[in-house]
A and B are shown apart, each in its own frame.
Chain A
Amino acid sequence: MTTHDNPPPPSQELPAAGAATMATRPSAPSPQRSGERAATAPGAPRDSDVAAPASAWRLGLRTFTENHLATVGLVILVLLVLFSFVGPLLYHTNQVASSLISQNLPPSGSHLLGTSPEGRDELGRLMLGGQSTIEVGLGVGVLATLFGLVYGALSGFVGGVLDAVMMRVVDALLSIPYLFFVVLLAALARPNLLLVIVVLSAASWLSTARLVRGETLSLRTRDYVTASQGFGSRAHQVIARHITPNLLGVVVVNGTLKVADAILAFASIAYLGLGPPPPATNWGELLSAGINNLFDGYWWQLWPAGLLIVLTVLAVNVIGDGLSDVAEIRLQKR
C-alpha cells in the first residue's frame, strides 16, 4: 500500500463531478432531537430529488399536496365554490318571489331539498347563500389582512412611541368582544353585504396587526437585514426586499384562518338577525330559519345549511394548515 507516497491533496474541493444532483446539507438525524423533528416534519422534498432549480411555486405546490388533508380541503372548497356560483346556472329556481302554497315542503322531485318557510326552493337558496357567505369570507380575509399587514408592519418597523400608541389602540379594540362590537356596528345601520365585510374586517384586522408587528420586530433584527443595512439599503428597500417577502407566509396563513373566522362570524350575525335583509340570504340565515322550525321536524331547512358551513370552515382551516407547511418549508429544512 502506497499510502504515504500519495501526492498532496490537489485541492480543498472535489472536482465538479458531472453529478446532476444538488448539494445538500447532511440531513442526517443528527445528535440532538432532530430525528424527531425530521420525522414529524419531513414534508420538504430533499434537495437531491430536485434535478433543476425548482421554482418556488412548484416547490410550494409539492409541499401542499403532501398534506393530504389540505388537498382534500382544497378540493372540497373548489366544489363548494362551483356549487354556489355555477350551481344556479344549472339548477334554476325563483329566489325572489315568496310563495304561500309551497311553504316548508319536504324534498321532492320539483324541490330537491324541499322549500324554505317563505316557499323558496331550499337547494337554490343554499346556492345563493353560498355566494354571499364565500364572498364575505374572502372579502374579510383580504381586507383585514391587508389593513392588518400595513398597520402591523408600520408599527413594528417604526417602533418607539408610535409603536406603543398603535399597539395600545389594538389592545383596547381587542378587549371589546368582537361580536358585541360587530352587533353594535350592525345596529347602527342595517347592513348590506359590503357593510358586513367592512364591519367584520374592522373586528378582524386586529390580531393580524399584532402578529405582523411581532414578526416584523423579529425580522428587523435578523442578520440579513443588518447586512442589508450594512451595505446601505434604505428603510423602504429593506421592507420591500426582506421584511415583506418573509412576512408573506405567516400573513397568508393567518389570512386563511381569517376567512374561516369570518364565515363563522357572518353566520353568527345572520343568526342574530343582523345580516343583509331578504331576499338576499346566506347560510347563517338559512340555518337560523331552520332553527326557528327546529321542533317542526323540517330537517331540510336545518342540516344542509349547517353541514355546508361546517364543511367550508373545515376546508378552509385544513387549507390553512397546508399553507403553513408551505410557508415554513424553507425554514424547516434548517
Chain B
Amino acid sequence: MKQRILEVEHLRTEFHLRSANVAAVDDVSLTIDQGECVGLVGESGCGKSTTGLSIMRLLPRSGHVTAGRVLLDGRDLVPLSEAQMRQVRGREVSMIFQDPMTSLNPTMTIGAQVAEPLVIHFGSSKKAAMDRTLETLHLVGIPNPRERVDDYPHQLSGGLRQRVMIATALAAEPKLLIADEPTTALDVTIQAQILDLLDRLREELSMAVLLITHDIGVIAGRTDRVMVMYAGRMVESATTDELFAATRHPYAEALLQSIPQLTQDANARLPSIPGHPPDLSRLPPGCRFAPRCRYASPACIEEPPLEEAATGHLVACFHPVGVLSGAAAAWSAPGAPAGAPTSPPPVPASAALDASAALDASGSPARAGDPTPPPDATTRRLTLAAAAVLVEVDHLVKEYPVRGGGLRRRVGSVKAVSDVSFGIRRGETFGLVGESGCGKSTLGRMVAALERPTSGTVRLGGDELLRLRGADLRRRRRELQLMFQDPYASLDPRMRVGSILREPLVVQGVGDRRQQWETVASLLDEVGLSRRAIDLYPHEFSGGQRQRIGLARALTLNPRLVVADEPVSALDVSIQSQILNLMKALQRSHGLTYLVISHDLAVLRYLSDTIGVMYLGKMVELGAADDVYARPAHPYTHGLIQAIPVPDPSIEKAKRSAAVRGELPSAVNPPSGCRFRTRCPLAQEICAEEEPPLRGFGPGHVAACHFPLLSPSTDQQAGAVPVVSVASEPAPGAS
C-alpha cells in the first residue's frame, strides 16, 4: 500500500462578501497517495481551484477555511500558524497555475525564481542553489539550462515558461504538487508536452499530484482517480476508469456527453445541460444540480448525501444513472427533441430555479422544435456539392512590417498568411484550425473585409468587396457578419441589448422604427432569449447568453456569410454545446454560410463540413471534415488530432508521447521549404529545400507534404465533392 500523502476531510471554505457569506467549497473530502494523480474537474466557479488554494492556505483575504481538516502526512494544516504554513508551502506542497506568463515574476531571472524555494527553505548557498537550479531546469526539459538561467520570463516561449514554472515548484522536491489548470493557456500540442512532462516527473519523483482542470479529456488520460465538483460540492468520486465506464451522477454524465468528440456524429444534436450553474449566494435548496437535471424529482429538495455506489465510487444523487449507454441513447436519438411535448421538468416549484431560466424564453427553436430538422449526412453533402461557391480566397498573402532600432526602420515582416487559397460553398460551414499564431484569425479578418491583404483576393459572391469604396463597401458589408470569441468584449457595455441588436438595422437604414424593433424581438426568440432582454445591459447576462446576443446581432442583417472567430472557446463545456447547437439550427433556418475559426479540432469537426488546417501562415491540409479527421494526410494534422485529449481513458492512456514536438517557430523568419519541418517527425532534407505543393488525397482532400501519411490520389476530381478547393499549386519557393 502506497503512503497516503494528503487527506482532506469535510473541507468548507467561505468567502465573506459584503452582500453575503458564500461557501465556495462545501464539505469536500479527498485523498491522494504517493505517486498518484487525482483529478478535480468541474466548470468555472465550481470551487475546484478554491479547493486547491484552501489546501495551500493561499486564499484571498476574504476567504477562510471554516471547517474540516487538511492532513498532509497526517499533520493538519488548517490550524497551523502562518509562519508554520510558510515552511510547508514550496517545500512539502507546491502549486503551479494556469498562465505561465503572469505567474512568473517579470523582473526576476528564471534562475533566481527556480532557486527561490531553495533559498527560502534550505538557506542554500549561491553555488548549491545554482547547481540544483540547473539540475531542475534540465529535469523539466529546458534546453541548455546554463545559458537560460539568466533569461527573464518574457524571453521564453509559453511552453518553456510553463516548464520553468514547474521547475520552481519542484526545486525543493515537494511531496504533493497541485496543478491548477496547468495547460489551459497553452496550445494543444504544447499541452500534450507539458502533461507528458508532469506524468514523467510524477513517476520519477514519486510525487502525488492534484490536477485541477475543466478538461475532461485531460482527466481521462492523466489521472488515476477523479472527483467531480459542482457548485462547491463534490458530486462524484471514482477511479478514472470507473467514472468513464459507469458514470453515476447526472451532472457528470451530462458533462461527458456535452463535449463534442472527434468521433461525434456531426449531424446529431449535441446533448447539452440547460441553464447554467447557480449563484453561490442563492443556492437552490437540496441538490444543487436539480434545477438543471433531467432526472430531478421532488426528492431532490433534500440534500443527497455522498454515498458509496460501488466500491470506491462515491456519488451524491438520489437518482444515480445506472448504465451510461441507456441514457445516452435517449439523449442522442437523432432529431429526438423535435416536436417533443414539453412537459414541465420535474423540479419542485419551490426550488428556487436558476433565475436565468426566466430569460431563456420558451420560444427558442431548440425547444419549440426545429422548423427544419437536421437532414442526414448524405443529403446535406449532396445539397452542398450542388451549391454555388460563395467565398473564393485566392493566393491570399498578409505580411505585417516589423520595425526596430532607434529610427523604427522596417527590419522584416511577420508572414501572417502566406499564399492561401480555398473556397466556401453556400450553406457550408468551413472550419479553420491551427495553433495560436498560425494566421487563422488574420485570414478570418481578411475574409470579413476588415483588413486588406498584402496581395491576393477575397471574393464574396463573385465580387471583391475591398475593391469597393465608401458607401458601396458599407452597403455590401451587411452580407457578411462577425461573431467574436470574448463574450464580454464584443458587446458595448453601455448599450442596452435592444439598441445593440437594432444598431445594424439603423446603420444600414433597414425598415422603419417599428419594423426594426420587431426584427429585434424575433431575433431574441430565435436565439432563445426572453424579450425582456431588450431593456437590459450586457453585463446582466452570462457568457453563454452574451454569445447568443452576439449571434443575434450577426443575424440582424440577414447576412450570407458569418465569420465566427473562436465562438465557443471562452465558454464552459455545458454552455459551449448550447451555442454549437444553436449555430447549427440557425444555419439551417437562415441558410447561413459559416467560416468558423478555432483551435479546437473537436469543435470544428462537429460544426464543419470542410476543414482547413493552417500552420504558420500556410494551409497545409484541406478536405471534408470526416475525411481529414479519419484519414489525415499531413503529419501536422495527424499530430493535432493526436494531441486532443479524448474523454476516454482507454484511448487517452494508450497515447504515450506528444505527437508534435517543439514549439511554433517565428513567423518573421519561417523555416525554409516546408514550414512544419522543424517539428515534423518525418522531415528529411528535401523538406528544407523545397516547399511541398498541395496534392490530392481523394475527393476535395488536399495536403501539402513531401511525405504524406496517405498515398496521393492521381485523380483529384473523383466523385461528388463537398467543396471545390480552388487551391492551386503555389510556385515552389513562393515564400
Contacts and interface: CB of A to CB of B under 8 A. Distances in A.
Please determine if A and B sit in direct contact within the complex, based on CB atoms under 8 angstroms apart.
Answer: yes
A28 B330 CA distance: 33
Given A16-B361, A228-B507, A48 B279 contact: yes
Contacts of A278: none
A220 interface: no
A226 B450 contact: yes
B15 A38 contact: yes
Interface stretch (B331-339, B378-386, B634-642): B331-339
Contact of B543 (A25, A27, A231): A25
Interface stretch (A1-9, A144-152, A318-326): A1-9
A209 B281 CA distance: 43
A223 B49 CA distance: 30
A31 interface: yes
Interface in B312-356: 318-323, 326-327, 330-331, 333, 336-337, 340-345, 347, 353-356
B337 A11 contact: yes
Interface string B500-543: 10011001100000000000000000001010100111111111
Contacts of A1: 318-319
Interface SS, B side: loop
A53 B536 CA distance: 6
Interface string A15-29: 111111111111111
Interface stretch (B77-85, B161-169, B287-295): B287-295
B434 interface: no
A22 B537 CA distance: 11
A33 B24 CA distance: 12
Interface stretch (A76-84, A200-208, A237-245, A306-314): A237-245
B673 interface: no
B357 A28 contact: no
Nearest to B357: A14
B18 A230 contact: no
Interface in B191-219: none
B554 to A, nearest CB: 8
Given A16-B361, A17-B357, A232 B507 contact: yes
A224 interface: yes
Contact of B60 (A15, A25, A36, A245): A36
Given A21-B355, A24-B279, A246-B493, A13 B366 contact: yes
Contacts of A17: 353, 357-358
Given A21-B355, A23-B359, A24-B355, A39 B15 contact: yes
Nearest to A227: B482
Contacts of A24: 279, 355-356, 540, 542
A39 B18 contact: yes
A227 B552 CA distance: 12
Contacts, number: 269
A24 B279 CA distance: 8
B320 A39 contact: no
Given A13-B274, A227-B484, A237-B507, A30 B281 contact: no
Interface in B47-77: 47-50, 59-63
Given A13-B528, A24-B540, A29-B15, A38 B62 contact: yes
Interface string A182-220: 000000000000000000000000000000000000000
Nearest to B323: A4
Nearest to A221: B489
A333 B543 CA distance: 12
Contacts of A334: 488, 539
B545 interface: yes
Nearest to A249: B494
Nearest to B299: A1
Interface residues of B, number: 116
B45 interface: yes
B492 A242 contact: yes
B494 A23 contact: no
A330 interface: yes
B491 interface: yes
B337 A10 contact: yes
Contacts of B183: none
A279 interface: no
A35 B15 contact: yes
A18 B213 CA distance: 36
Contacts of A163: none
B277 interface: yes
Interface string A223-261: 110111111111001000110011000000000000000
B340 A10 contact: yes
A229 B484 CA distance: 14
A25 B616 CA distance: 37
Interface string B259-284: 00000000000011011111111100
A232 B465 CA distance: 12
Nearest to B486: A223
Interface in B3-22: 15-19, 22
B364 A13 contact: yes
A47 interface: yes
B553 interface: yes
Contacts of A39: 15-18, 60-62
A30 B355 contact: no
B62 A29 contact: yes
B491 A23 contact: no
Given A8-B331, A42-B18, A234-B474, A19 B45 contact: no
A9 B484 contact: no
A28 B279 contact: yes
A245 B499 CA distance: 13
A32 B279 contact: no
Interface in B577-610: 578, 581
A26 B278 contact: yes
Contacts of B357: 13-17, 19
B187 interface: no
Contact of A230 (B24, B44, B336, B450): B450
Contacts of B486: 223
Contacts of A36: 60-62
A70 B660 CA distance: 57
B271 to A, nearest CB: 8
A311 to B, nearest CB: 29
Given A23-B358, A36-B60, A227-B490, A10 B367 contact: yes
B557 interface: yes
Given A11-B364, A13-B528, A16-B357, A35 B60 contact: yes
Contact of A26 (B181, B279, B475): B279
A334 B279 CA distance: 14
Given A3-B295, A15-B344, A231 B280 contact: no
Given A8-B331, A36-B61, A26 B542 contact: yes
Given A10-B367, A28-B24, A223-B486, A23 B545 contact: yes
Contacts of B18: 39, 42
Which 3 residue pairs of A and B lie closest in terms of their CB atoms, listed nearest first? Answer: A31-B49, A11-B367, A36-B60
6 contacts: A10-B337, A11-B342, A22-B355, A26-B280, A330-B494, A333-B539
Interface of A: 1, 3-4, 6-33, 35-36, 38-39, 42, 46-48, 50, 53, 222-224, 226-234, 237, 241-242, 245-246, 330-331, 333-334
